[in-house]
Structure 1
Amino acid sequence: MNVWGTGSFENEVGAAFAQEVVEDGAFALAEAFDVALDPDTDFLAAEEGHRVLAAAEILAAALTGEMAGITNAPLRTWLASVNPAELQPLRELARAAVTRVLGPDSELPDLWANREDAEAWQAEVERLLTALN
């Protein structure tokens, strides 16, 4: 998996997920959160973790109107067309899914643990959780 930064879209999975949302809308966001929160999933793979973080970033942008971290033009267009009130019910799911990404049964914290920018990644995820509150 190719990762070039600590941001939600600075990896191949997150970048690809942006296009998925443009095509499938809120369904893609809900699906990313649902997969992460599935009680039958014992361990959250890195790919699913990246999808959750990208979905949460998109949801936070939709709910707050803060789109500085959204550089994908079609995604920005989709965000401008969406009614934030329709996405509000996803907020709680997003917080729970992001919390799971940070948990002990998730691959991403292990992958970031020995990297120079581990603290920066952790700060990015904490910023995202704050944006979802």
Structure 2
Amino acid sequence: MNAWGTGPFENESAAAFIQEVLQDGAFALAEAFDVALDPDNDWLGAEEGHRAIAAAEILAAVLTGDTTALTDAALRSWVQGTDPAELAPLRDLATGAVDRVLSPSSELPDLWEESETADTWRADVERLRVALG
């Protein structure tokens, strides 16, 4: 699974996604949500799921101003310099993407189910859902 922790940025896919956000901004977030919500995909792979969770965490940080979950200083700076009103329209997409990650048609719950930290991972994703409103 290329993960080293249960946090939203504690895997290779999400760590790489940070660079996309720093380069492409809101477009990278929207793209991650669109991929997760693509109705033509019956199955959401782990990499896409990790990216959707990371994008949702970044959006939540922009909307709430709470950057404690962000592990990258450059990303925190980007978030602090981003107008929440500009990204607010992505909230529903983010919530839908998180729901899709938690669904039976997603690889991540299956991968985490086999882990001793499955409850911690699921609780963190549920915390993210609440943060998104």
- Fold conserved (TM > 0.5)? yes
2:118 maps to which residue?
Answer: 118
| Counterpart Cα distance in 1 of 2:32 and 2:71 | 20
1:66 is displaced (CA, Å) by 0.2
* Deviates further, 71-80 or 107-116: 71-80
| Counterpart Cα distance in 2 of 1:21 and 1:74 | 10
CA offsets 1:25-46 (integer angstroms, 9 cap, x no match): 0000000000111110110000
Q: Which runs of 4+ in 1 moved over 6 A?
A: none
2:107 maps to which residue?
Answer: 107
1:84 is displaced (CA, Å) by 0.4
- Structure 1 residues without counterparts, runs of 5 or longer: none
| Superposition pairs of residues 16-31 of structure 1, within 5 angstroms | 16-31=16-31
CA offsets 1:2-52 (integer angstroms, 9 cap, x no match): 211101100001111111100000000000000111110110000000000
- The letter of the residue matching 1:61 is A
- Structure 2 residues without counterparts, runs of 5 or longer: none
| Superposition pairs of residues 52-71 of structure 1, within 5 angstroms | 52-71=52-71
- The letter of the residue matching 2:37 is L
Q: Confirm whether residue 86 of structure 1 aligns to residue 86 of structure 2.
A: yes
| Counterpart Cα distance in 2 of 1:103 and 1:116 | 20
1:81 is displaced (CA, Å) by 1.2
Q: Confirm whether residue 34 of structure 1 aligns to residue 42 of structure 2.
A: no
| Counterpart Cα distance in 2 of 1:127 and 1:17 | 21
CA offsets 1:48-98 (integer angstroms, 9 cap, x no match): 000000000000000000001112011111111110000000000000000
Q: Confirm whether residue 13 of structure 1 aligns to residue 13 of structure 2.
A: yes
| Counterpart Cα distance in 1 of 2:88 and 2:15 | 23
2:43 maps to which residue?
Answer: 43
- The letter of the residue matching 1:62 is V
- The letter of the residue matching 1:105 is S
| Counterpart Cα distance in 1 of 2:128 and 2:48 | 16
Identity, % of aligned positions:
67
1:125 is displaced (CA, Å) by 0.3
TM-score (norm 1): 0.98
1:114 is displaced (CA, Å) by 1.2
| Counterpart Cα distance in 2 of 1:119 and 1:71 | 21
TM-score (norm 2): 0.98
CA RMSD after TM alignment: 0.6
